[in-house]
């Protein structure tokens, strides 16, 4: 079976060289029992490759199960993967087989492998090296013959340096690496994907297919697609349903594309994000503050030249109080997902010798870790320590919140 037939069978669209190479590697490694680590940004279509590997392996008639490690709570993931004995914990009313026991002889796809707790990583490493595991609450060693394919959208090498992922497990999983490139590196495939999705949604919703004008096609090609193929598919579906005209111009298309020029710095962040991004955003924030200070000094100089000294002094005091109020309200109204600006503290010069020296900006620490701890504490206080409500407000999973609390030793 050639690559085009495989693409058609598994719904893979595109002709990029990197995409074809990834498919070739998947086919070549399929007949073996080697572990495979599939990496790539969220939304690039990593889930298709474990199915290709399983379908062309000698295990193709056995079970194939895909598990999202990030969707399973930390307290139950060992039970889900390795099973448990009756009475081993509260709620364990019967014995239960884990996925490694259920899929014996088949293939197990572990998506978002970087979300596994360190304790579970130790258990997984043992299975990969010896094929042995122990149910939760049991002392009996069991054997299994499972091929593991893992996927991640984060850089595991960074997670290793930060102590969040075991180095030995990484090298055990990464026996055969497959890298799926982002959509912005497959620009020739963008219009091809759009036409396929537009045709599918036209058939699904019983309506004519949408098409792009030349200027709209250029917008499509120039956009970076941070959400990759998944984002393109969602936007195509939105346009197919909402737009009355079946011909979409650039002006119409732009309304559906999130702006790339407005970058926000989240209060709660993933430590594995590129540090260069944070560095550039800090520089932007510094520049904003310095520009604000310069504009205020220019304004005060103009007022000083136009007004008598007595009125000038009163206006300066009023302006200073107003600035204090604005920054205080900005800090109080801060919420997750909004830009995180450092709050200047205005110090008054009691001598009043020179109006140019009557204030000094002392910038608050820009440590994102401190901001994250502060927001977690505020949310927990607001919800009286209820982690589920706090996690919902912060926009993260309860499991991630638990890990952050433990990592920062938040009481």
**Each residue of 353-386: pLDDT tens digit?**
444 444 444 444 556 777 788 888 888 888 888 8
H-only helix segments in 223-308: 228-242, 250-254, 275-306
Secondary structure (3-state) at 2: coil
SS (H, E, C) 197-243: HHHHHHHHHCCCCCEECHHHHHHHHHCCCCCHHHHHHHHHHHHHHHC
| Residues 238 and 384 grouped into a single domain | no
- Same domain as 109, residue 57: yes
Report the mean per-residue pLDDT for the chain: 82
CA dist 35 and 169 (Å) reads 11
Same domain for 109 and 33, yes or no, is yes
pLDDT of residue 89: 86
**How confident is the model at residue 398, as a pLDDT?**
82
What domain count does the chain have? 4
Same-domain check for residues 68 and 88: yes
Tell me, yes or no, whether 23 lies in a domain: yes
Mean pLDDT over residues 324-330, rounded? Answer: 56
236 shares a domain with 222: yes
- Is 260 among the domain residues? no
Closest CA to 25 of 179, 139, 141: 179
Nearest in space to 340 (alpha carbons), one of 389, 271, 273, 286: 286
State the CATH number of the domain containing residue 94: 3.40.50.300
Is residue 265 domain-resident? no
Percent of the chain topping pLDDT 90? 60
Task: Among 181, 214, 232, give the residue marking a domain's end.
Answer: 181
User: Do 169 and 149 belong to one domain?
Assistant: yes
**CB contact at 8 A, 57 and 84:** no
The domain that holds 210 is classified in CATH as 1.10.8.60
Q: Do residues 342 and 404 both lie within one domain?
A: no
Confidence grade of residue 344 (pLDDT, cut at 50, 70, 90): very low
| 335 or 301, higher pLDDT | 301
φ, ψ at 241 (rounded to 5°): -85, -40
pLDDT of residue 155: 93
One domain, residues 69 and 147 = yes
Burial classification of residue 196, based on how many CB atoms lie within 10 Å of its CB (0-12 exposed, 13-18 middle, 19 or more buried): middle
Looking at the structure, do residues 57 and 18 belong to the same domain, yes or no?
A: yes
Asked, for residue 261, whether it belongs to a domain, the answer is no
**170 and 22 assigned to the same domain:** yes
Question: CA 225 to CA 257: how far, in whole Å?
Answer: 9
Q: Which pLDDT belongs to residue 410?
A: 83
Choose between 7 and 342: higher pLDDT.
7
pLDDT over 80 (residue 33)? yes
| Within a domain: 129 | yes
Task: Give the per-residue pLDDT at 342.
Answer: 46
Query: What integer pLDDT is reported at residue 353 of this predicted model?
Result: 45
Place of tokens 């697609």: 225
Question: Distance (Å, rounded) from C-alpha 238 to C-alpha 256?
Answer: 8
- What is the residue-wise DSSP string for 105-147? TSEEEEESGGGS-HHHHHHHHHHHHHSEEE-BT---EEE---E
- Domain that residue 232 falls in: 184-254
Do residue 74 and residue 197 come from a single domain? no
Instruction: Establish if 92 belongs to a structural domain.
Output: yes
Q: Is residue 270 part of a domain?
A: no
Residue 393 or residue 358, greater confidence: 393
Q: Which of 181, 212, 244 is the last residue of a domain?
A: 181
Last residue in a domain, options 161, 181, 201: 181
- This prediction has a pTM of 0.62
Same domain flag for 389 and 342:
no
Query: What is the predicted pLDDT for the residue at 269?
Result: 41
pLDDT recorded at residue 266:
42
Residue 267 lies in a domain: no
CATH number of the domain that residue 404 is part of: 1.10.10
175-184, 252-261, 262-271 — which is least confidently predicted?
262-271
């Amino acid at each position: 079976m050639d690559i085009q037939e495989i693409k058609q069978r598994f719904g893979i669209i595109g002709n990029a060289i990197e995409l074809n190479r990834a498919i070739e590697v998947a086919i070549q490694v399929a007949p073996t029992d080697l572990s495979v680590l599939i990496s790539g940004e969220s939304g690039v279509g990593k889930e298709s490759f474990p199915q290709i590997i399983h379908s062309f392996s000698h295990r193709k008639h056995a079970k194939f199960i895909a598990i999202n490690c990030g969707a399973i709570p930390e307290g139950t993931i060992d039970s889900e993967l390795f099973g448990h004995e009756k009475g081993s914990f509260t709620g364990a009313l019967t014995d239960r087989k884990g996925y490694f026991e259920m899929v014996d002889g088949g293939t197990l796809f572990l998506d978002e492998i970087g979300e596994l707790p360190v304790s579970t990583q130790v258990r997984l490493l043992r299975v990969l090296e010896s094929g042995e595991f122990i149910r939760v609450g049991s002392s009996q060693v069991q054997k299994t013959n499972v091929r593991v394919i893992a996927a991640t959208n984060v850089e595991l090498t960074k997670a290793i340096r930060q102590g969040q992922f075991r180095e030995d497990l990484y090298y055990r999983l990464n026996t055969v690496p497959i890298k799926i490139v982002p959509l912005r590196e497959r620009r020739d495939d963008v219009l091809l994907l759009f036409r396929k999705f537009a045709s599918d949604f036209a058939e699904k919703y019983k309506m004519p297919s949408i098409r792009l004008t030349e200027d709209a096609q250029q917008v499509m090609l120039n956009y970076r697609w941070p959400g990759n193929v998944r984002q393109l598919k969602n936007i195509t579906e939105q346009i197919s349903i909402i737009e009355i005209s079946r011909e979409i111009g650039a002006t119409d298309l732009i309304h559906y594309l999130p702006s790339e020029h407005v970058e926000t710095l989240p209060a709660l962040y993933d430590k594995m994000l590129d540090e260069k991004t944070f560095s550039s955003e800090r520089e932007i924030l510094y520049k904003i503050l310095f520009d604000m200070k310069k504009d205020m000094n220019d304004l005060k100089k103009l007022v000083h030249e136009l007004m008598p000294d007595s009125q000038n002094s009163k206006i300066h005091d009023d302006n200073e109080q107003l600035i204090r109020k604005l920054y205080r309200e900005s800090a109080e109204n801060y919420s997750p997902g909004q830009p995180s600006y450092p709050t200047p503290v205005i110090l008054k010069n009691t001598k009043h010798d020179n109006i140019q020296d009557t204030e000094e900006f002392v910038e608050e620490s820009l440590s994102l870790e401190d901001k994250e701890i502060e927001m977690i504490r505020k949310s927990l206080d607001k919800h009286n320590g209820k982690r589920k409500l706090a996690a919902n407000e912060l926009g993260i999973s309860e499991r991630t919140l638990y890990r952050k609390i433990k990592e920062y030793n938040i009481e």
